[in-house]
Structure formats: C-alpha cells, structure tokens
Structure 1
C-alpha cells in the first residue's frame, strides 16, 4: 500500500469552508473558500499524488503506474499507460450543477473527432453516486402521468408551454413510451429559439410569483399533491439561483425531470444519455475517466441542444430502471459492492468496521489483479496488506503461465531501472481522509483501530485532522466506512 494525496477542486457551487465534507478531507482549509470535489485517480486535470516514503518523496499517480508495472493492471503484454479507467470522487454540493447527460462510447468518439474543444476525449462517462448525507438530485426523465399532474396544477406554465408548441394531447397521440412528454419538453426547452427565450424572459417572474402564490394558498390545505408542491418549490429555488434570464433550465428541471431525494447510503447509476443534475448534499462518486458532458441548462456553460436531442432517443425505460442501485452484500453485511455488469470501467465496494463490536472478526477484502484506490471515512481503523502468493491462485494453463512469467520478468527488469525508491506500507493506522493505492495481488484486512498504534500513521500522512464525529453527519461515531474503487473485473 502507498499513501495518496487527492486533487481538490474549489468550484463555485461547492460548500464553503468546514461545512464541506471535501474541506474536512483536505489540508489547510480556508473558511471563505468553496470546496466542491476531491479527486482520486489519474485524470489529467487532477491527478492524485503518491507518497513514496517518509522522506517526503512524491510522484503523480499516472507516472508511478507507468514506472512500476507490477502496481498496474496484470493483463499479459498490454501497453501500460498509467491511466486508470475510473475516477473516485467526494462531492460537497451547495448549488445546483448543470443539467447534463453523457454520450456513449460510439458518440464520444464522433464528438471528440468533430468538436475536440467541447469534447476533449473519446470515452464515455457513466457515473455511480453514493449518498453520504441526505442528497438531492435530478436523475432521468419524469413519467408522463406525473408531468401531466405538474402542468395541470400550474396553469400559467401549461399555457406558456403551449405557446412554444408543446401540446400534451398531440404528443401522447403519437404514441411512444411513458417518458414521451418529458423527452419532448426537454428537446423543446433546450433548443428554444431567441423568440421563444424572449417569451420566457417576459414570463419567468410572473411564473415565479404565481408559483409562490399557489404554495402560500396550499400551505394549510391539501389542494395540491406533495409531488406538485416539491416541483413548485424547486422551480422557485432554481429561478432564484440561475444567473441567466433566458435559461429554461428551471422549467425543465422542476417539471420534467425526476426528483430524487437520496437518504444516506442510497445509490444511483447514471448511464449514457440520461439527463441529470446534482442539487445539494455530500456524496461519493465513481465514474469512467472522461470530461465529456452535454449540457442542457441551469448554468451559463455551453449547451448542445442538437446533440442532446439525438441522445434522448436512447433514453428510455431501460435506462430509467437502472438508476436506483441496490448493492450485493457479503454474508455478514460488512461489505457491499456496487457494479454494473455492462460497465467495465469501475466497481465500488464499501466496507464497515464498527468499534463498538470489538469481538467481531476483521473484515477481509479479497485480492484482485488490478490496482485499487481506498478511502477511509469516519472513525480511524487498522488496514493490513497481505500479498497473496502465486500458489494460492487458481491453476493456469502452462502456455498462459509462460506468457505471464515472461511478462513478469520484463516488469521486474523495468522496475530495476526505475531510480525512484519507495517503501510500501504493510500495516497502517488509517485516520479519516486516508487514501491508499493498493497493489494488485493484495488482500486487505480491515479491523478496529487500536489508539496505541496511532504512531504508525506517519507525520507526512495526507490524511485530514483527527476524527470528529460531528464532521461525519451520517457515519456513526463508532464506525469506519472504507470505500474501495477498482475497475469492474466482472464485466
């Protein structure tokens, strides 16, 4: 194991100061500064740093993996680029992010070739989000029946939508699936002409006033449903937050996208073509390493209505069903695993070690033949690395074994040429915020931390300040929550 330092992103939408989970996992927090994202991976815009030894020697993770093949993927003779296929993040969201969707691989290749200024790579960008606190998000199109209920309860908006050519009856008469109304609204609102946007500029303040009036009148009555109430409240909130008077994003978000309020430990998966936006809360996110985003509003960033329209054709029932995610669990429930069978880029495990149950056995995380990144949240814990010998692995054919031995010989020769010296850790007292690179072939043993071992955590550790239960809003004060990211070897 080797310690990692993350890249920290101070985007304007992040939570300010020590109210941010990201800030509490950082060093040298500035109270007036927003802390939005913490990155652990090899992304070119925020590569993690490897701590090689106690002398303070460091190197970017991507270069470390290039120079040390045995710490990279064990996969025959494939070229080692140092690039991990996944990026592990922690997010602290205070303000809404853009409504966005991500292209599939085929479209990403096309967009990168045609518009590299907007699509800087040729990869897809599926994402899995695990809520650390109550987390609010928009994820996927809303079903027809709920979209109709929202519009019918807000007559002023319904009339305005008709003036831009949106007629529910005509759309439903054409057939389609149960998301046809929201899909068409998304197309119309994002592709709006200057004339249509001008109508929204004139009408938006009146719409906000009317929405507030409906909410006040319904406060002590049951004249509108909770679903409509939530939509109107969200619409008013988003209108006050948006900086552009021509942005139709608040209408799209509040009335035609699915509102999801995640409780701590809930998870959602966002596949290609699914419109979504994070609104508030803290989460752990794992995604394919990519920057490809097609935006549809809520922020002043570049939008791509034509591209989005084509992507919506592939956003239907199957994609919506995949959004709520249920993990597989170990027999004792101490380890849960989130993975998508069709996505090879990432897999996320979460292990829990409870300090109140000192008699329980340690949590064992089996070895994998791929590099992994580990992050500790909550209470400190002990982490021990055990390298699994070849004799304990399943038997391979003699031909496969010969190839692997030759490849291993080349790797060993390459590492001998590497002048950088590093000292892997075999056992570690891991505080909250500790991040580790795990070598392929390593089994992990997670156990309750013995405070007497705290000196095992080096003074040069990239971890945060000592654990304070009040900092971990949903992680029990006696619990260590350990996240382990890797590529999905099941795919």
Structure 2
C-alpha cells in the first residue's frame, strides 16, 4: 500500500477551484483544471511514492509483476494492463456531446485508422486504443449532465411546447415514429443540417426557449440548458441535438452508468468518474475538437428512456457499491466516522481516493494516513484493508468488476 502522485489535466472547460482545493493547493489555480487521473493509462500514469520518497510509474510496476500487482484473475484477462481508470472530474463549462465505442467497435476503428496511417497523436484520430470506454460518474457536488435519449413521446411534448414554426416538421418526424428508429432519423437529420439551415432554425428555437422560460413552462430546465449551450456554441447543431437528451441533476453520492454508445455531455459540477482504461471519444458537437458524425453514428445507441440513478448498494458496514455489468471496473463509496472501522476484503488491485476527512488505512503491517485529495495504490497481493477515522470521512474505491 503506497501513496500515489497523480496527473492533473488542464482543459478549457475545467474549474480553477475544485481540484486545486481538493489537493490543498492555492486557489484559484492559474488555469482551468479539468481532470485528476488515477491509474495506469499510458497518456498520464500515476506514480507510486515509495517509503524512500522515490516515485515509480505504476505502468512499470505492472509490467514487472502483473500477477503480484493485479492478481492472477485480473492478469489472466488483462495482461499487465490495469483495466480501470479513476478520475476526479471538475466541469465549469459543458463538455462535448460525445459517445464511446464498445470493445468490438473500438477494435475495428483502431485497426482501420492504423491501416489508413493516421498517427496516434493526430488531432483527427478517433481511436487511441482498441478498447471500450464505458463509464460511471458519481457526484461530489450537485452535478448536471445530458445523458441518453429521452422517451420519444415526452420529447415530442417538449418540442411542441416551443413555438418555432420552421422546427415543426422535425417535431412531426418524431411524432410519426415515436421510437428508437424515429429518434435515429430525427437526430441524424438535425446533426447533419447544412450551416445555412442551422443559421435560420437555431435562432427560432432559442427565441422559443426564451419564451418558454419566461412563461415558466414545464421544460424550464431543458430550455435553460439549450440557451446556455446556444450562447457558448453559436451555430452548432449539437444545441438542437441536446433537445433530445435526458437532462439530469445528480446530488452528492448519486451516480449514473454510461455504457457504450450512450450519447452524453457533462455540463457542470464535480464528480468521481470511473471508466475502462481507454481514451476513445467520438464527438458530434459542442466542441472545437475533432468531430466525426459518421463514425459516431456507427456506435450510437438509440435506446431511450430515463437514465437509472444509483445511490450505491450496501455491501458491508460503511461500504456502498455502484453495480454495473462492466468487467473492467467497480466503484464503491466508503463512509466512516469516529469509533467505527470498515474492513475491505479484496482479491484484485485497488485505488482508494479520499474525498472528505482524514482516514487511517491499515493493511497487514503497513499503515498510513490519507487526507482529502490523496490516493493510494493497493496491489492484489496486499492483505485485507481496514479503514478507521476520528472524523466523518469519505473515500472512493476503484477495483476491477466482478464477473
């Protein structure tokens, strides 16, 4: 069990306060900080801090001793590759409208781009690796997102509530076929509209949203979101596409699972995110980065309905687990306060992140103190972990999924 030194990624949509405050650094940070990465992704691997203070890449440790670090079950399936990546995500502005591929789709896309000679570091490269990228996001603060296609009948009701005459034919396209195929047809039409058509249609829709908000309409939050996106990304077809998605507000401790093909955009807030160890992102709007609509359409899932919100299933005293069918990862939340202890048994590798308070961690003969913003690596070969604290403390625990 050893402390980790982790990379902070700076993107324009990030926060100048959330990650800096969590890490105990000066606030505000000199530039937006969007993501804190904990794991062994080749793009920004964590470094294990030894007892002598020397730092070693977690990638190197896994390559040298995959069975000891990952355990035989994990190493048999994933080789020397840690299958999950843990992040703190801090969004002050909306992220791109995006989806991630399945394992099969990623393998096909990666091979195709390799065959076409697209460099791995090219800004127009879609597939950085041949792996899937399902993810689960759990709120640390109130967290706002668009995720998954709304139930079509409710979307028709929303679109009909907007008095935008030129948009009426698009509304009726979905009304005539209120199912996944109708959503596919409408989304494809909107996201591929010529710019001259967008320049006429978008102002009408935005004006209709203003009226809806002023009249305190049923879809106030959805319309406010479209107005915010329209101001940030003028003339972007993704603003219209956002009308088709579920508008979600997560409270701290609540989580949603985003499987392959789920169209989503994080809007605002701070969260813990766990995902398969991949960096494959397919975008269709709300971004200055590379957009590839045809490739996105190849992976997109048009299943529709409300996104299930999880609060964690009790899996022991002080331990709550967010269940998914994903083999690459599982996220748990540990809550402990004075006079209590939480015992965590494990057969695989773990990363623990402290998000509130101060925890004392004991594994065999090794003990250390973990403060807010700090994280630790526990190899599979380590003994069971015991967590205690004198103050209310919260940790998140990342492990491979249960098969």
Does TM-score exceed 0.5, indicating one fold?
yes
Equivalent residue in structure 1 for 2:108, among 107, 110, 132: 110
Kindly indicate whether residue 36 of structure 2 is the aligned counterpart of residue 38 of structure 1: yes
Q: Output the CA distance in 2 between the equivalents of 1:84 and 1:91.
A: 20
Matched positions, count:
391
Contact 2:138–2:272 (CA under 8 A) maintained in structure 1:
yes
Question: Would the alpha carbon gap of residues 98 and 161 (structure 1) be closer, same or farther in structure 2, given more than 3 Å must change?
Answer: farther
TM-aligned CA deviation for residue 28 of structure 1: 5.8
- Partner SS for 1:115: helix
Aligned residue number for residue 418 of structure 1: none
Bigger CA radius of gyration: 1
Contact 2:96–2:283 (CA under 8 A) maintained in structure 1:
yes
Aligned residue number for residue 135 of structure 1: 143
Deviations 1:204-248 (A, max 9, x none): 3344334323422x15xxxx21xx212221111111111xx4311
- Partner SS for 1:65: helix
TM-score, normalized by length of structure 2?
0.90
Q: How do 1:18-417 and structure 2 match up within 5 A?
A: 19-21=17-19, 23-25=21-23, 27=25, 31-54=29-52, 56-69=53-66, 70-75=68-73, 78=76, 82-116=80-114, 117-156=125-164, 159-160=166-167, 162=169, 166=170, 168=172, 170-174=173-177, 177=179, 179-192=180-193, 196-216=194-214, 218-219=215-216, 224-225=217-218, 228-242=219-233, 245-253=234-242, 255-312=243-300, 314-317=301-304, 323-332=308-317, 334-341=318-325, 343-355=326-338, 358=339, 360=340, 362-368=341-347, 370-386=348-364
Contact 1:88–1:285 (CA under 8 A) maintained in structure 2:
yes
Unmatched 5+ stretches in structure 2: 115-124
TM-aligned CA deviation for residue 161 of structure 1: 5.7
Q: Output the CA distance in 1 between the equivalents of 2:392 and 2:388.
A: 11
- Partner SS for 1:283: strand
Contact 1:187–1:308 (CA under 8 A) maintained in structure 2:
no
Aligned residue number for residue 15 of structure 1: 15
TM-aligned CA deviation for residue 435 of structure 1: 0.8
- After TM superposition, the runs of 4+ consecutive aligned structure 1 residues lying more than 6 A away are none
Q: Output the CA distance in 1 between the equivalents of 2:78 and 2:103.
A: 21
TM-aligned CA deviation for residue 154 of structure 1: 0.7
Question: Would the alpha carbon gap of residues 321 and 366 (structure 1) be closer, same or farther in structure 2, given more than 3 Å must change?
Answer: farther
Aligned residue number for residue 466 of structure 1: none
Question: Would the alpha carbon gap of residues 364 and 336 (structure 1) be closer, same or farther in structure 2, given more than 3 Å must change?
Answer: same
Question: Would the alpha carbon gap of residues 180 and 230 (structure 1) be closer, same or farther in structure 2, given more than 3 Å must change?
Answer: farther
Aligned residue number for residue 438 of structure 1: 378
Deviations 1:347-390 (A, max 9, x none): 111111113xx2x3x1111132x21111111111111002xxxx
